[in-house]
């Protein structure tokens, strides 16, 4: 009888120890750093500031930088990230639809007004017949650039195409400009081979350009192409994701953005 009692007690201790170990393991995983993916450049700089603000509150963020517009979303979908901050909502929606992913916008962050740049010309008035024009080749970068070219008076698009515009929707092209879709991150390096190009502000700044000074034309500060925080749909209400949003939307981060990027990057809050 005593042996049975001692055996039962020993088994109970083993069970409790196992449960305790599992709880500790689960707590450690949950309390680990929140992994946030960004593109290298301004997004990385801003997120490092968010990380700094969060750390003052005892909340740990690990910033993981990427050099393209694909990996931050695939890594998020595969569970390698908890959230990412690098894309506009239209780009996110197109990416999700094309690849069948379950990712969702959580909050707006900053706006990088797209600009038109040139290594050859100091004014768009200098453009010549048949000049080559670079623009991003992804599904939201192309219409965005085309709308900017239209704003600059270089082309006219078919009425109503909006954010679905493609090169095929150019209705008037007085200078017979040749439009060349390129990988967005590579356009600054290829600018010397082009007359002009539409470049995302983050890539322009990464290449050493000052958008407000070096661009020949820019989108308005209140353009609809604001970047967002995204996460898996199942995690949109997660407390740690909500904390990320709150730390991002602080006055400290806003002031950092305004001072660090000479008003070329616009906070949405």
What is the dotted CATH code of the domain comprising 33-112+225-267?
Answer: 3.40.190.10
pLDDT at 153: 98
All residues at 6 or more sequence positions from 105 whose CB lies less than 8 Å from its CB, including other chains: 89, 92, 228, 229, 230
Phi, psi at 33, each rounded to 5°: -65, 145
pLDDT at 45: 96
Does residue 172 contact residue 184 with C-beta atoms inside 8 Å?
A: no
pLDDT at 31: 63
DSSP string spanning 9-60? HHHHHHHHHHHHHHHHHHHHHHTSPEEEEEETTHHHHHHHHHHHHHHTTT--
pLDDT at 43: 94
pLDDT at 259: 93
> Is there a shared CATH topology between the 33-112+225-267 domain and the 115-218 domain?
yes
pLDDT at 59: 98
Intra-chain end-to-end CA distance of the chain, in Å = 71
Does residue 183 contact residue 190 with C-beta atoms inside 8 Å?
A: no
Which tens digit of pLDDT belongs to each residue from 86-111? 999 989 999 999 999 999 999 999 99
Positions of the chain with pLDDT under 70: 1-31
Q: Structural domain boundaries of the chain?
A: 33-112+225-267, 115-218
pLDDT at 131: 99
Nearest 5 degrees, angle CA 159-CA 160-CA 166?
A: 85
Q: What is the token pair recorded at 258?
A: 């305004």
pLDDT at 129: 99
The fold adopted by the segment(s) 115-218 is: D-Maltodextrin-Binding Protein; domain 2 (3.40.190)
pLDDT at 162: 86
Q: Report yes or no on whether pTM surpasses 0.85.
A: no
């Amino acid at each position: 009888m005593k042996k049975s009692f001692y055996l039962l007690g020993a088994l109970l201790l083993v069970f409790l120890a196992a449960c305790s170990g599992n709880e500790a393991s689960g707590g450690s995983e949950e309390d680990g750093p929140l992994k946030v993916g960004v593109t290298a450049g301004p997004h990385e700089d801003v997120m490092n500031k968010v990380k700094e603000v969060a750390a003052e509150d005892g909340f740990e963020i690990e910033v993981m930088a990427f050099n393209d517009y694909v990996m931050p979303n695939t890594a998020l979908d595969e569970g390698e990230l908890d959230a990412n901050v690098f894309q506009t909502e239209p780009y996110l929606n197109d990416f999700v639809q094309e690849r069948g992913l379950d990712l969702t916008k959580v909050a707006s962050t900053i706006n990088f007004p797209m600009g038109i740049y040139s290594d050859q010309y100091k004014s768009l008035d200098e453009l010549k017949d048949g000049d080559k024009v670079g623009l991003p080749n992804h599904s939201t970068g192309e219409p965005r650039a085309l709308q900017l070219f239209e704003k600059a008076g270089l082309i006219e698009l078919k009425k109503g195409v909006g954010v679905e515009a493609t090169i095929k929707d150019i209705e008037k092209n007085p200078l017979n400009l040749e439009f060349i879709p390129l990988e967005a991150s590579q356009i600054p390096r290829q600018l010397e081979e082009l007359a002009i190009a539409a470049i995302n502000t983050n890539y322009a700044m990464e290449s050493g350009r000052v958008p407000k000074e070096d661009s020949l034309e820019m989108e308005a500060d209140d353009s609809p192409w604001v970047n967002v925080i995204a996460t898996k749909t199942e995690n949109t209400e997660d407390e740690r994701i909500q904390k990320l949003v709150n730390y991002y939307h602080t006055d400290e981060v806003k002031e950092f953005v305004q001072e660090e990027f000479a008003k070329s990057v616009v906070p949405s809050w």
